[in-house]
Amino acid sequence: MGRWNSMEKESNNNAEKQQWLNRNVAAMGFTSLFSDASHEMATAILAQFLIIELHSSAEILGLIEGLADFSSSFVKAYSGWLSDKIGKRKSLATLGYTLTGSFISLFAFASNFLQVLFYRTVGWIGRGIRESPRDALLAESVEPKSYGHAFGFHRMMDTLGAIIGPTIAFILLPLVGFRNVFLVALLPGILAVLVFAYFTKEKASRKEVVGKRKMLTDIRGLPARFKPFLLAAGMFGIGNFANTFLVLKSTEALAPSLGLIVASSVSALLYVLLNVGSAVFAYVFGVLGDRFSKRKLLALGYIIFSIYCVGFILLQPTVWNYAFLFALAGVETGAIDSTERAYAAELLGENNRGTGFGLLSTVNGVGDFTSSVTAGILWTVVSPSASFAYGAVLASAAATMLVAPKLVRSR
């Protein structure tokens, strides 16, 4: 009877996988929407809260963000590998969503920056715990031919949450104040945990293999074709500085003609344009990835990054020129967010998917930290153009690595 039930569950899993927008994909999409709305609602006002209410400084903000991102990056590799080792993805991801949602809302009770540092770091460790097992579970929820659709939809929902959260924060902030906004952020965080816990299903056939796997051995055992891709992703990552540098460039360049206040407002609207474009094109490129080469589409995303970096160096600082460049940045962000994960899923096997996604996330996290620090130094010591030139060169090199036939032989 037990064997029959197991066979029936496996049959149901296979039937669901035939449809890319199945229960798991939809649930993980809405989970990411709620979770991103929660932590982006808090993140959007964190800098102002630190400076206005806790009387901290920009250096303290940098310390908090840097330590949180650094901690999250290194947890990602371990959590992905652990989900392969114990054969459980859902429980780890649920723990991660719970930590993020609950600790971010604790900003409401912070009386000094050290408390914010602790809450932010633990919350971001939760982010690190959930990401790789969730991506592996998402890949296991659809057939390989639908990886692009599934990851594109997921990244679209994630970005929509990143738009909704700050919007709610800026509406509520004048009405209820910083601390109450942090408390409100708990609500979508709870919804994220509930949706994920009750509506996602673990793959029935994966077995626990405790005591038979070591992390470094499993990393060395990743498919040979995955490693050149990881190298290219790392090359792009160390040049892919944060989008806040685009906002800074726009504000500084437009301020002489528009005034600082208007330039800041215009730049904020341009950032919204970037996020909307990212949400739309994450799905578009996901769909394209199921019809064309994911590798080449990812290389195209890297090239688009290079193009808009050069644009910020060469084009005149007008609102319309910058609107065009921010729109390109939205296309690039959407393209890379969806196709990178879908391509990784295509290269990895079922038994090492968590490990591979974890290593990719760690490489990306270290790259994000390195690129933003380097861009900031170049911006201050040399010029903003030096930062954009740095990003353009590394992105072009990464695109070349992806399309070089000696490095990548598979689709």
> SS3 sequence, the chain?
CHHHHHHHHHHHHHHHHCCCCCHHHHHHHHHHHHHHHHHHHHHHHHHHHHHHHCCCCHHHHHHHHHHHHHHHHHHHHHHHHHHHHHCCCHHHHHHHHHHHHHHHHHHHHCCCHHHHHHHHHHHHHHHHHHHHHHHHHHHHCCCHHHHHHHHHHHHHHHHHHHHHHHHHHHHHHHHHCHHHHHHHCHHHHHHHHHHHHHHCCCCCCCCCCCCCCCHHHHHHCCCCCHHHHHHHHHHHHCCCCCCHHHHHHHHHHHHHHHCHHHHHHHHHHHHHHHHHHHHHHHHHHHHHHCCCCHHHHHHHHHHHHHHHHHHHHHCCCCHHHHHHHHHHHHHHHHHHHHHHHHHHHHHCCHHHHHHHHHHHHHHHHHHHHHHHHHHHHHHHHCCHHHHHHHHHHHHHHHHHHHHCCCCCCCC
**Within-domain flag for 1:** no
CATH at 43: 1.20.1250.20
What total of structural domains would you count in the chain? 2
Report the amino acid identity of residue 355. T
**Within-domain flag for 313:** yes
Task: Please tell me the chain's helix, strand, coil percentages from 3-state DSSP, rounded to the nearest 5.
Answer: 85, 0, 15
**Within-domain flag for 318:** yes
**Within-domain flag for 2:** no
Which range of residues forms the domain containing residue 260? 226-403
Q: What is the pLDDT along the chain (411 residues), one digit of tens a residue?
A: 555 454 455 555 555 556 777 888 999 999 999 999 998 888 777 777 877 788 876 567 667 777 787 788 788 878 888 887 777 888 899 999 999 999 999 999 999 989 998 999 999 899 889 888 888 888 888 888 888 888 888 888 988 898 898 888 878 888 888 899 899 999 999 999 999 999 988 875 555 554 566 777 777 777 778 888 888 998 998 888 777 778 778 878 888 888 877 777 777 778 788 888 888 888 888 888 888 888 889 999 999 999 999 999 998 888 899 999 999 998 998 889 888 888 888 888 777 777 887 888 888 888 877 887 788 788 878 888 998 999 999 999 999 988 875 544 444
| Residue 186 shares a structural domain with residue 117 | yes
**Within-domain flag for 213:** no
**Within-domain flag for 77:** yes
pLDDT given at position 410: 45
DSSP state of 239: T
Contact 37, 161 (CB under 8 A): yes
Residue 310 buriedness (CB in 10 A; 0-12 / 13-18 / 19+)? middle
| Residue 169 shares a structural domain with residue 316 | no
**Within-domain flag for 28:** yes
| Residue 195 shares a structural domain with residue 239 | no
Axis-axis angle for helices 58-86, 113-140 (nearest 10): 30
Q: Which of 164, 199, 234 is the last residue of a domain?
A: 199
| Residue 161 shares a structural domain with residue 284 | no
pLDDT given at position 209: 52
pLDDT given at position 87: 76
* Two structure tokens written together for 27: 């649930």
User: Burial code of 112-132, b = ≥16 C-beta within 10 A, e = fewer?
Assistant: ebeebbebbbbbbbbbbbbbb
Residue (of 344, 310, 343, 335) closest to 325 by Cα position: 310
| Residue 166 shares a structural domain with residue 247 | no
| Residue 328 shares a structural domain with residue 238 | yes
pLDDT given at position 302: 94
**Within-domain flag for 221:** no
| Residue 149 shares a structural domain with residue 89 | yes
| Residue 80 shares a structural domain with residue 39 | yes
| Residue 280 shares a structural domain with residue 185 | no
pLDDT given at position 393: 94
Contacts 24+ apart (CB under 8 A), 315-320: 317/250, 317/253, 317/254, 317/257, 319/254, 319/258, 319/266
| Residue 194 shares a structural domain with residue 235 | no
Predicted TM-score (pTM) of the model is 0.76
Contact 136, 28 (CB under 8 A): no
| Residue 161 shares a structural domain with residue 272 | no
| Residue 245 shares a structural domain with residue 190 | no
pLDDT given at position 311: 93
pLDDT given at position 259: 81
